[in-house]
Amino acid sequence: MFVIDCPNCGSRDQSEFTYAGEAHIARPTESENMTDAEWAEFVFMRTNTKGLFAERWWHATGCRKFFNMLRNTATDEIHAVYRIGEKPPKVTANLPLTPAGESSIGSGNDAVKIMTRDEENAS
Amino acid sequence: MSQPNRLPGRGLVNRDRPVSFTFDGREIAGYEGDTIASALLANGEIMVGRSFKYHRPRGIVGAGSDDPAAMVQIGSDPASTDPNVMVTTREIHAGLEARPQNCWPSLKYDVGVLNDVFMRFFPAGFYYKTFMGSDRFRWLNWMTFEPFIRRAAGLGKSPTKPDPDTYESVNRHCDVLVIGAGPAGLTAAANAARSGARVILVEESERLGGSLNATDPEGTTIGGKAPADWIAAQTAKLAEHPEVTVLTRTTAFGYYAMNFVGLIERVSDHLPEHRRDRRQPRQRVWRVRAKQVVLATGAIERPLVFHENDRPGIMLAGAARSFLHRYGVLAGKRVLVFANNDSAWQTAFDIRAAGGEVAGIVDMRRELNEALALRALKAGIAVYPRTAIVGTHGRHRIDSAFVSSLDDSGNVRGSRSRIECDLIAVSGGWNPNVALFAQSRGKLKWDAEMASFRPGLSWQQERSAGACNGTFELQEVLAEGSKAGLEAARAADFTVRAVKQPEVETSVVQSLNLVPVWQVPSGQPREKTKAFVDLQDDVKASDLQLATEEGYDSVEHAKRYTTQGMGTDQGKISNVNAFGIMAEARGITVPEVGTTTFRQPWRPVTIGALGGQHVGAHFMPRRGTPMHAWHREQKAIFEPVGDWLRARAYPKPGESFHDAVQREAKAARTTAGILDATTLGKIDIRGKDARTFLNRVYTNAWSKLAPGRCRYGLMLGEDGMVSDDGVTACIADDHFHMTTTTGGAASVLQKLEDYLQTEWPELDVWLTTVTEQWAVAAVCGPKAEEIVAAVVDGIDLDPEEFPFMTWQDGTAGGIPVRVFRVSFTGETSYEINIPATYGRWLWEELVAAGKPHGLTPYGTEAMHLLRAEKGFIIVGQETDGTVTPGDLRMDWAVAKKKGDFIGKRSLSRSDTIRDDRKQLVGLLTNDGDHVPMEGAQIIGTPEEPAPPVPMLGHVTSAYFSPNLGRSIAMAMVKRGGQRMGETVWIARRGDKPVPAKIVHYDFLGDAVGEGA
């Protein structure tokens, strides 16, 4: 269970929020001119990102406002929270990725349970 | 009752309070402060149960939550009995009843032991290989064997009746959560507390002090104080700080995301019935969100894996010290120590000092710690260097061990000799207890000196201190605890200055000098060696080696194949040994093998405690309308609809549900009916762009709907599928009153908010849910006008003056009401909205006014029936997320010429314009008495052909209509709109298909014969 820093209400438990899918997908305004494939792309297709992901949340039992969030889906680390209409802020990905696309710590994946020699030497 | 192994003047149990309980039907004496384990040992008993698979005798191995297999069943009441309770953690009390598990007919004589005799035929993966993969048994299947295997293998018995106890869960925020109240945890908590931070200190047992309670009270001083006095002083210091909470008998069972930690507090398990406070729950779950966490969870000793190492009487060396110092119990009369490190020698010294007999110290190392060897010599303890235990003897308890000396490469050399002993105190080293650290997703680090894992990189806001961090020297433990407490408080934004830590003086062995040994040689072939790694799941070293040879390289796969580390103990003492054995078998290092995942919970947690107070009526609280109490008084049958409980029917005394529904539906069309329609979702829409907004969210046009008028609307998803429907009224040009389905109220509001906030923020529209603000009574039928007229003032109800699909404001008893002339039955209908607090009053007024006219309350079942007679859809019954307005043959509700609306583009997708889509039709069975089953498949032939059967569609609704005197059904049928008058067949399981004619779904209209 996360704690989410609502831009209006501050830190609240995840149970107050509803997930609302991928962010920054604008509804096409001239859909009548789109092909079926283009329209289907908007209606059905979403990325399934492992790593930094921009998504929308709704503070259902708080301010009832939608907002955007940058979350690492592999580790659940929340990098930024920002309002609807705002561009995603630049965040420094402070975690290098392993060849498997896994964060080097925090993901719970088998590959990252034990420190490597290099990590031991660096720490 | 003599407690022959209890030593006078030793231990921390309360000698003034003798307590007796029963084990295996026999009365056992102990003292307050004893666990079942310490009391059994005081009475010379060590065997507790039988193992999971081979039914081998199992005894007490650990002294706390590390013990793998000494479990009992508590109590015999089928509701409150508690299985798989560890004897090493359960405190005794008067009236406690403990029974051994997994043995029949008795602990000492057990039939299942036959599994043991055939052990060599049960290698790793035996069941899979034999019953699932083998050709020989193909004629039988796994399902045949599974119940027998389940019966033979197993642990305790689950209760069979509902849990009579109460539980609760509480939420708590704190600045610093300290887990473990040993020397490190106590120091950390005391230092954090000085900052004024909110500190929670959690201790699994009933007593603070941790490892200090298991150490010779005369061997150590801290700041000049005896350990017990130092603990008392620390405890007193903590009590001075009002922001500190100390929880004993509380286990931190799970470390979750963002420093969310689950604690389970055993509030009254340790008390006899008569001393339990009925106002308190049996157990309490604390859901703690901590800014900072200090882990001070200590270390777990690991045994050595040697031949015949699972007999009762083989105990961890540290546990033997714990029983001695904490409980004043000598765990054996003649103790043999077996080790590969220094720490176990302390056990020999302590037992000797307490007057016990030590049979010797068998140490596998080539080079021994000279100081310790000298100490052993002085104490008269025989030392066997470069020697190993290669076998044991004794049925229900060991009576002797066989030892052999080892050559330079560590192999057995020469013959075995026998040493008599009734306890082997064994130590293979210490594993820092990193379970919570690993659960927090921290990264482990291999420590070659300890040959174990310790915390490496932290992922969350936590730090480890003391033995769980691989630090064992008491002076350093205190320093680490102090540092951790200070750092945690500072990281939580508190200021605190460091103070000097007390000096430690101790004669206790603090060195390790470990030589790692993963499996002790037995001098015998592998198949004859019974060297157990996991004592609960009966996993031997040879099983792990076989699994490796068969290709189970992944440690996670090997775990599942061999069951290593499964069960209630989750391999607490065994996992690192198992990783070591796998590493040796593969010729790689232990960190290369890796670890299995440390999962929550650290220790089994009662399901009831996790449920807390959310059981029964509190599991999912139901909403009731203002008229709910009236429905209950009428003995209505209720059904859940969304979060609501709605009256489904009002059977009279002696009347069946079916008859009640038929009577109610008949009355609504012939005289009058009244329905509680309060649960309909209601959204108040305001703003100058409200009309534009409605145009975009509904499929039909709203530009010209005048104030005072209502309109039915369909709402789609962007995929073009119907998602909700309802009637919306225009109150004013910039004010509308929308109704939604009962179950869709919340999701429709979310969807509308979503579009308003994210897609069309330029629109001046404001949404407010008013579902609970209005109570709604819907009166319908030929007498409705007269009945409503008797209650509502200020409205001319004549249908000429107050036409269908309009609304008017009026009053009832002086209270403002808003009446909608809309209908879900096809009858003349008035939906009267009144402020919710007057709901029941209005309802009773209407019922009284309707009495002379035969007004009949009807429930949701009659409502469904009445709307089906008229052919009105229910979203979620006729639709299932794959149905377009065209499929419902409701193209009239879609405005082609207005601008864009949600889902519009999808209505011209190649898939949605297919001409062979299923469409909504009515069905009249040839036999009017037959009511088809909802969901039944529709086929095109009188007989069901061989599979695959071509399906035409399915029945969505079916009722017996009292007003038509026959059955009616609605169905989705392929090309249904073009099939009017055709006959189709409704398939039935195990019976002949039923013929039915396709008709228009308005069974009351002229359309019944359409197309015929």
Q: What digits encode the pLDDT tens for the residues B600-629?
A: 999 999 999 999 999 988 999 999 999 999
Interface contact A1-B446, CB threshold 8 A: no
Q: What does the pLDDT read at residue B150? A: 58
How far off is chain A from B638, nearest CA to CA, in Å? 28
Q: Has residue A115 been placed in a domain? A: no
List every span in chain B annotated with CATH 3.50.50.60: 167-299+433-506, 303-428
Neighbouring-strand partners of residue B272? none
Q: Which residues of A touch B553 (CB under 8 A)?
A: none
Long-range contact pairs involving B397-403 (C-beta distance under 8 Å, separation at least 24): B397/B46, B397/B47, B397/B59, B397/B311, B397/B312, B397/B313, B397/B422, B398/B311, B398/B312, B398/B313, B398/B314, B398/B422, B398/B423, B398/B424, B401/B336, B401/B338, B401/B362, B403/B362
Q: How many CB atoms lie within 10 A of CB B18?
A: 15
Interface contact A39-B910, CB threshold 8 A: no
Q: Which residues of B touch A18 (CB under 8 A)?
A: 750
Mean pLDDT of B197-215: 97
Number of domains in chain A: 1
Q: Which residues of B touch A43 (CB under 8 A)?
A: 718-719, 906
B528-597 CATH, one of 1.10.10, 1.10.260, 1.25.40, 1.10.3450: 1.10.10
Interface contact A113-B591, CB threshold 8 A: no
Which letter does DSSP use for residue B109 in this model?
S
Interface contact B459-A106, CB threshold 8 A: yes
Interface contact A123-B457, CB threshold 8 A: yes
Q: What does the pLDDT read at residue B1008? A: 37
B874 CB-side CA count, 13 A: 20
CA dist B152 to B51, B119, B123, B145, B157, Å?
11, 14, 16, 11, 13
Interface contact A85-B761, CB threshold 8 A: yes
More confident call, B468 vs B139: B468
* Helical (H) or strand (E) element with B793: strand B792-793
Mean pLDDT of B484-497: 98
Q: State the best of A115, A117, A119 to mutate against chain B, taking most chain B CBs within 10 Å.
A: A115
A34 contacts chain B (CB < 8 A): yes
Which stretches does DSSP call E strand in B828-952?
A: 829-835, 855-857, 918-925, 937-939
Interface contact A1-B258, CB threshold 8 A: yes
Q: What does the pLDDT read at residue B133? A: 57
For residue B905, give the nearest of A18, A39, A123 by CB distance: A39
Neighbouring-strand partners of residue B286? B170, B263
Whole-number Å distance between alpha carbons of B56 and B585:
26
B744 CB-side CA count, 13 A: 21
For residue B441, give the nearest of A2, A84, A106 by CB distance: A106
For residue A114, give the nearest of B594, B754, B904 by CB distance: B594
B123 contacts chain A (CB < 8 A): no
Domain of residue A68, residue span: 3-96
When pLDDT is cut at 50, 70 and 90, the band that residue B423 belongs to is very high
Q: What does the pLDDT read at residue B136? A: 58
When pLDDT is cut at 50, 70 and 90, the band that residue A102 belongs to is confident
Q: What is the CATH number of domain B1-162?
A: 3.10.20.440
Interface contact B457-A26, CB threshold 8 A: no
How far off is chain A from B164, nearest CA to CA, in Å? 29
At the fourth CATH level, the homologous superfamily of domain B773-856 is: Probable tRNA modification gtpase trme; domain 1 (3.30.1360.120)
Whole-number Å distance between alpha carbons of B295 and B291:
13
Phi, psi of B666 (to 5 degrees): -65, -45
- Lowest mean pLDDT segment, chosen from A3-7, A26-30, B54-58, B328-332: B54-58
List every span in chain B annotated with CATH 3.10.20.440: 1-162
Which letter does DSSP use for residue B7 in this model?
P
More confident call, A111 vs B602: B602
CA dist B489 to A11, B188, B286, Å?
20, 10, 21
Interface contact B443-A119, CB threshold 8 A: yes
Residues 68-87, chain A: which have Cβ within 8 Å of B? 75-76, 84-85
In this prediction the pTM is 0.91
List every span in chain B annotated with CATH 1.10.10: 528-597
Whole-number Å distance between alpha carbons of B438 and B431:
13
* Helical (H) or strand (E) element with B435: helix B435-439
Interface contact B258-A18, CB threshold 8 A: no
Neighbouring-strand partners of residue B996? B925, B984
Interface contact A114-B757, CB threshold 8 A: no
Q: What does the pLDDT read at residue B1012? A: 28
Q: Has residue A22 been placed in a domain? A: yes
List every span in chain B annotated with CATH 3.30.1360.120: 773-856, 866-899+912-1011
Q: Say whether pLDDT at B1007 is over 50.
A: no
CATH fold for domain B303-428 = FAD/NAD(P)-binding domain (3.50.50)
B409: exposed, middle or buried (C-beta count within 10 Å: 0-12, 13-18, 19+)?
exposed
When pLDDT is cut at 50, 70 and 90, the band that residue B117 belongs to is low
- Lowest mean pLDDT segment, chosen from B292-296, B339-343, B536-540: B536-540
**B366-413 per-position pLDDT tens digit:** 999 999 999 999 999 999 999 999 999 998 999 999 999 999 888 999
CB B253, CB B600: distance < 8 Å:
yes
Instruction: Find the CATH number of the domain harbouring A22.
Output: 3.30.2270.10
Calculate the average pLDDT of chain B.
94
Whole-number Å distance between alpha carbons of B768 and B753:
10
Reading the block at residue B880, the tokens are 């299932």
B594 contacts chain A (CB < 8 A): yes
Phi, psi of B555 (to 5 degrees): -65, -30
Cα R_g (chain A), whole angstroms:
18
Q: Has residue A102 been placed in a domain? A: no
**B687-696 per-position pLDDT tens digit:** 999 999 999 9
Whole-number Å distance between alpha carbons of B903 and A65:
23
When pLDDT is cut at 50, 70 and 90, the band that residue A110 belongs to is confident
Q: Which residues of B touch A108 (CB under 8 A)?
A: 441, 597
Mean pLDDT of B227-249: 97
Determine what percent of chain B is predicted with pLDDT higher than 90: 90
Closest residue by Cα to residue B471 from B461, B481, B486, B460: B481
For residue A65, give the nearest of B441, B446, B757 by CB distance: B757
Taking CA atoms, what residue in A is nearest to B721?
Answer: A43
- The DSSP-derived string for B606-666 is -HHHHHTT-SGGGTSPPB--TTHHHHHHTT-EEEEETTEEEEEE-PPTT--HHHHHHHHHH
**A2-47 per-position pLDDT tens digit:** 899 999 999 999 999 999 999 999 999 999 999 999 999 999 999 9
Interface contact B258-A120, CB threshold 8 A: no
Mean pLDDT of B561-583: 95
Q: What does the pLDDT read at residue A105? A: 85
Q: Say whether pLDDT at B1009 is over 50.
A: no
Interface contact A1-B260, CB threshold 8 A: yes
Whole-number Å distance between alpha carbons of B736 and A14:
33
Q: What does the pLDDT read at residue B106? A: 74
CATH entry 3.30.1360.120 includes domain B866-899+912-1011: yes
The CATH class of B167-299+433-506 is alpha beta
Contacts of B306 (CB under 8 A, 6+ apart): B338, B388, B389, B390, B391, B519, B520, B522, B531
CB B657, CB B842: distance < 8 Å:
no
Q: Is the peptide bond preceding residue B105 cis, with omega within 30 degrees of 0?
A: yes
Determine what percent of chain B is predicted with pLDDT higher than 70: 95
Whole-number Å distance between alpha carbons of B190 and B225:
17
Q: At CA B394, angle to CA B392 and CA B399, rounded to 5?
A: 80
- Lowest mean pLDDT segment, chosen from B111-120, B192-201, B234-243, B444-453: B111-120
Q: Say whether pLDDT at B1010 is over 60.
A: no
A114 contacts chain B (CB < 8 A): yes
* Helical (H) or strand (E) element with B683: strand B681-686
CA dist B541 to B153, B187, B448, B589, B764, Å?
20, 40, 22, 17, 73
Q: What does the pLDDT read at residue B130? A: 61
Closest residue by Cα to residue B868 from B935, B930, B957: B957
ipTM for the assembly: 0.95
A115 contacts chain B (CB < 8 A): yes
Whole-number Å distance between alpha carbons of A67 and A59:
8
Q: Say whether pLDDT at B144 is over 90.
A: no
Mean pLDDT of B227-243: 97
Neighbouring-strand partners of residue B971? B921, B955
Q: Has residue A110 been placed in a domain? A: no
